[in-house]
Structure 1
């Protein structure tokens, strides 16, 4: 109990919450941007624009098959070589958005494909243009079908932020490492605490998803 009391001191817990805030901030920004880009790329790949859809599809296939850790290294060490200055937070967001938007693009495309083709035919027969039908008829139905895989991917994104520790992102895991580097007996208590924190954040997201799924059903 003495070990846990010292490991979970108010100072250490507060320091962990500072790291948790960075994790949540990076995750939230990455989720929003990834969804926007993933939606755009998914629609482009579905619609089959001449040349453009094939190029986007080729890029998606490449990035989806690269290790996320490699993308972290590229954004942190490679992007500055192109003349752009980045810090660990911006490099982490950039890496997560690049990787996750490609994953989400495939989820979007699959969600649109899951909508009955008759929906588009019916919308066009009622005088809607292709893009009006896509906006008002197809995408709302597709988004409902996409909720479970989208949430699963968002949860993976939150957990993937821990990989950014390698580029010194001051996130939850990095703060825990700082604490137990000062006293190695704190290692297990720190890992237990960050496991609880990750679980709470991810579980709350899954509860929100279940609520939305029921509301939109």
Structure 2
């Protein structure tokens, strides 16, 4: 039987933005919102932890590395489940399901951002830090104003890989029924029940396009930076 992609065109608004006009974003729109929110939060937390680890010694540094190794050693789905069930039990407060998933993905991703940032800082020559200190910068100021601006462009490819993984990780929100792209694709499939191939080919193509566009944008930016350097 030939593929019939009319199921996509018939349900395209729902797949793209869910019930956004009713105040409930979903589909691709919610995937983008979650990716941006989790990505920004992971970047801020991960870079901040990397700066603390770089400046610290002893038990603080060891605790940060132990935390990052622990987070990187467990599946993200466990982190989502833990936050989903733990936050209401501990704090006696229910967070919106979407926010819970965003926090879980950001927490999980921040460990990779921390390691990438530290690798970029460690790759800089020791003379950079010494030169900044000789100019009167304190160690934290040298790190923030001299070393970090040089390290971040160098770790852009690594961060790109991290954030591409983050976009794909948003699909795990389906386990707590957050209506992002994978969830609404499953809903459409359950409603029609005869077009799973077409529905999930479309879903996979959308994720591929998102990740490919991000990768292309970063490569173009790097090429422009190299030409102006």
The TM-score by the shorter chain falls in which range?
over 0.9
Match of 2:15 in 1: 16
Match of 2:169 in 1: 160
Distance change in 2, residues 1:137/1:197 (3 Å): same
Instruction: Provide the rounded CA distance (Å) in 2 between the counterparts of 1:48 and 1:129.
Output: 14
Cα displacement string for residues 103-140 of structure 1 (whole angstroms, at most 9, x for unaligned residues): 11111111110111111111222222222221222111
Instruction: Provide the rounded CA distance (Å) in 1 between the counterparts of 2:107 and 2:141.
Output: 29
Aligned CA RMSD, in angstroms, stands at 1.7
**Deviation larger for 121-130 or 68-77:** 121-130
**For this pair of structures, how many residues does the alignment match?**
216
Name structure 1 gaps, 5 residues minimum.
Answer: none
Q: Structure 2 length normalisation: TM-score?
A: 0.89
Tell me the SS of whatever aligns to 1:4: coil
Match of 1:30 in 2: 38
Which contiguous aligned blocks of 4+ residues in structure 1 show a shift greater than 6 angstroms?
none
Match of 1:139 in 2: 148
Distance change in 2, residues 1:215/1:138 (3 Å): farther
Match of 1:56 in 2: 64
Match of 2:22 in 1: none
**Deviation larger for 28-37 or 202-211:** 202-211
Distance change in 2, residues 1:214/1:136 (3 Å): farther
Cα displacement string for residues 140-194 of structure 1 (whole angstroms, at most 9, x for unaligned residues): 1100111001010000000011111111110101111111112222100011111
Does residue 150 of the first structure (1) align with residue 149 of the second (2)?
A: no
Does residue 173 of the first structure (1) align with residue 172 of the second (2)?
A: no
Does residue 69 of the first structure (1) align with residue 77 of the second (2)?
A: yes
Q: Structure 1 length normalisation: TM-score?
A: 0.93
Distance change in 2, residues 1:53/1:92 (3 Å): same
1:119-138 pair list within 5 angstroms:
119-138=128-147
Match of 2:4 in 1: 4
Instruction: Provide the rounded CA distance (Å) in 1 between the counterparts of 2:99 and 2:182.
Output: 17
Name structure 2 gaps, 5 residues minimum.
Answer: 18-26
Instruction: Provide the rounded CA distance (Å) in 1 between the counterparts of 2:139 and 2:225.
Output: 24
Deviation at 1:25, TM superposition (A): 0.4
